[in-house]
A and B are shown apart, each in its own frame.
Chain A
Amino acid sequence: MHPHTLAASSTVPPGTGYVVLVGLVVVGGYAIACLLWPVTACRRCDGAGKFRSPSGRNWRLCRKCKGSGGRIRTGRRIFNYLAARRRDAA
């Protein structure tokens, strides 16, 4: 059979190619972000690292990020985990 007829007769809906392309760009962009900016703002405190009382006179450190205000991106975390496993296996 000719490849064109194969593509035409397959069950893939039209426009899938664009979706895949966009997906790849997003994943690639996220990977670059994990490399260049591995730390992003803490979700709990939005990067402030501490919470203030309404009067502004008292404050406490964010419990989640222990005051640093940042967190490692999930992608980088996964990558670090896999790299560590790979290193241990070697």
Chain B
Amino acid sequence: MSDLIRRDDDGPVIRPVDIDAEQVVIEPGREDGPPVDPPRKAATWADITARPGPRTPIVPASLMSRAGRRSLVKQTAAFLGYELAFHGLRLPKYGLKVAVYAPWGACRVAWRTLRWAADLEGWSIRQDAASRNAVADYLNLSRQRDRRVSNRWWLLALAAVAVVVAGLVVTLAAPPWAQWALAAAAGLALAWAGQPIDHPIIDRVYQGDRFVRLTAALTRQTIIAAGVPGIKEPSDVKFLRDIARDGPGHEALVLLKAGVIATDVIDRRERLAAAYRLPKSQVWPSPVPGEHPGVVSIWVADKPVSEMKAPPWPLLRDGATFDYFTGVFVYGHDERMRPATYSLEQKNSLFAGIPGSGKTLAARVVLLAGVLDPLVVPVVFDLKGSGDIDCMEPLCPPGLYGSGADETTKEAALASLEWLLVQCDERAPLVRGYTRQGMNSVNKVNRAMAERDPRLRPIVAFYDELQELLTDPNLGKRAKFVLTSVVKRGRALGIHIIFATQRIDKESAPRGISSNIALRTCLAVMSHVECDLVLGTGAFRAGARPTELEPGDSTGPKDSGWGYRAGAGPVRPVKSSYVDNPAAEKVIQRALELRRGTAPVEVPKVALRNLLGDVRAVWHDGEEALWSELIVPRLIELDPDAYADLTVEVFGAWMAKAGVPTVSINRRVGDGAKRATRAGVRLDALEGRINARRVESAAAADLDDREPTEIEPA
């Protein structure tokens, strides 16, 4: 950079002064100083009134191309041809119907005319007056009737004379074709008046999905009919632009009356759908990002979204890969079938929803995308043992995969969290070192580092049904503490954690954890409380309605997989791509192929054990200090699998990492043996560290329980 401050839109403008750019030099005699950002030229009227942005083409774009015109003509011809053939075949039936309905229609018309002429509208109110013995009321009402009726009878008489004269003229003077045409027209009109509402003369051609053309008049009527408070007149509803096609449906951008906001309309989605005469899953009101809150977008789908064919997951394609650090993958689609993207770097993910909402499959999409980066190390724990993510097992390093609702799995999950915490400790100095060497401009893991040093390979850890661990009476507090720490520190160090939980409250999704997760997806939940806990306070008020999603069950998937997502732009409904088990297996196979040749990640089994606890467990009563060389055999006896390769040196290193460095201890061991000084552990140091850990996790848990927003009653 030169020493000039550059504007992003222009050449060098301001020469830097010695002081901070936000400060201003006050000249003597001037109290306000020079203007900080003077305009470069005077604005003209044209500058202000210019309307940038796209303009509607003069000739519709679809008519500019030969193919567009042809398709329009073809479609119109096909439509008209079909209608003609359909109704042509049914003409005799229509004739019969007309013959039956016309006399009935004549009766109806006569009755309506008489009713009007005799003012039978007022019949019931006059009878009511008589029943109340109210003579004066009755007489007033009858005088009103008389006033009305006198003119009407005259009119009726004139009309009758006119009809009779016209009839005579037609029968005596008109040519036969005109007689037939008039008779047919009269018959049709009477039949139309006489048709029962459920059996119209003309049969329906289309039986398929209801397609309602979204028009401005219809939208106005609908919003008024939906009873949005403050909107009474059609003029209260205006439109920002013409109703246009958007994806497989139409979108109306509605400008509401001042004082009415988009969520007022969104709250009445059910009434809107009823007023449009459409199923609810075809009507999608939403706020418009970038517009003021008085603008609501109403998108009406051509058919229910659940019946639309969702685009397949792009990463299912052979050879598709993903880059953890810079990559963006398609997570699913929104109601308009637009792809919804997702990225992993420097973020964590939370999926919350009641059982059946599809959170495991949604989270699995993220996980599957993650493992398509050959550098990514997956860690997977399914604490319900449902088997949906069993396919991940071959990819996970030994010890970092678990599935089951039992204690062992929970302990293994906690151990993996502890390992992640140690990873945070180890990675931070490495990252700092590589950054100093110029591999990155900020203290963050990037691809170059991860490729150079396998210790910095990105980790994608998925914990399904995490509430099982967090609410465990023994492991819960420690788990919360470790998790909070990992969530806060891990994102810059190439650790992405995916949580899926079905219980959403302070216990199972503590604020310290959930508020540090960037990508939050709220699938079907029961109330606005959960919605706000997952998506952030105010999300429900801003229009997120995960409460309206229906979880899938044995009768169908329903809204399974649908959820509102925060953290990537405005909160919007998104459905995860559907990746079934065979497809997932294929992705795993590809991920294994990608990893062929690279060294598998070795996680020392010691790292997954609670070393301090184990040392305390093998301690015998009466020993206040113990040599490492005596502890190690006892540990090997305790868990031959994990501690098989343990040596005194390695033990010392692990103890130092766990916060209890070994010290020199002078002891005589056994009768007659010489006193000797060896490295060992002191009991008070060990217990001190264990207690300190317990206190810090308890403190973390306490911090977490405190609600910052709630005010305690005095």
**Residues of chain A at the chain B interface (Cβ within 8 Å):** 35, 38-39, 65-66, 68-72, 76-77, 80, 83
Contact = CB atoms under 8 A, between A and B. Distances in A.
B138 A70 contact: yes
Count chain B CB atoms within 10 A of each CB in A38, A65, A69, A77 and give the residue with the most.
A38
Contact of A68 (B127, B130, B131, B135): B135
A79 to B, nearest CB: 8
Given A70-B138, A80-B131, A83-B131, 12 more contacts: A38-B127, A38-B138, A39-B138, A39-B139, A68-B135, A69-B139, A70-B139, A71-B135, A72-B135, A77-B133, A80-B130, A80-B132
Count chain A CB atoms within 10 A of each CB in B135, B136, B142 and give the residue with the most.
B135
Nearest to B136: A68
B130 A72 contact: yes
Count chain A CB atoms within 10 A of each CB in B127, B130, B136, B138 and give the residue with the most.
B130
A19 B318 CA distance: 104
**A-B pairs, 7 with minimum CB distance:** A38-B130, A68-B136, A70-B135, A68-B135, A39-B138, A72-B133, A80-B131
Contacts of A80: 130-133
A69 B143 CA distance: 13
A31 B139 CA distance: 19
Nearest to B138: A39
24 contacts: A35-B127, A38-B127, A38-B130, A38-B138, A39-B130, A39-B135, A39-B138, A39-B142, A65-B135, A66-B136, A68-B135, A68-B136, A68-B139, A69-B139, A70-B135, A70-B138, A71-B135, A72-B130, A72-B135, A77-B133, A80-B130, A80-B131, A80-B132, A83-B131
Interface string B127-168: 100111101101100100000000000000000000000000
Q: Give the dominant DSSP class at B's interface.
A: helix
Contacts of A69: 139
Contact of A76 (B130, B139, B142): B130
Contacts of A76: 130
B187 to A, nearest CB: 36
A65 B132 CA distance: 15
Contacts of B136: 66, 68
Contacts of B138: 38-39, 70
A77 B130 CA distance: 9
Contacts of B139: 39, 68-70
A43 B521 CA distance: 85
A71 B133 CA distance: 8
A35 B132 CA distance: 13
B120 to A, nearest CB: 12
A70 B135 CA distance: 6
A85 to B, nearest CB: 13
A16 to B, nearest CB: 35
Nearest to B133: A72
A11 to B, nearest CB: 43
A35 B131 CA distance: 10
Contacts of A35: 127
Contacts of A39: 130, 135, 138-139, 142
Contacts of B142: 39
Contacts of A72: 130, 133, 135
A83 B128 CA distance: 12
A68 B143 CA distance: 12
Contacts of B131: 80, 83
A39 B129 CA distance: 10
Contacts of B135: 39, 65, 68, 70-72
A71 B138 CA distance: 10
Interface in B350-399: none
Nearest to B140: A68
B117 to A, nearest CB: 16
A39 B141 CA distance: 12
Contacts of A71: 135
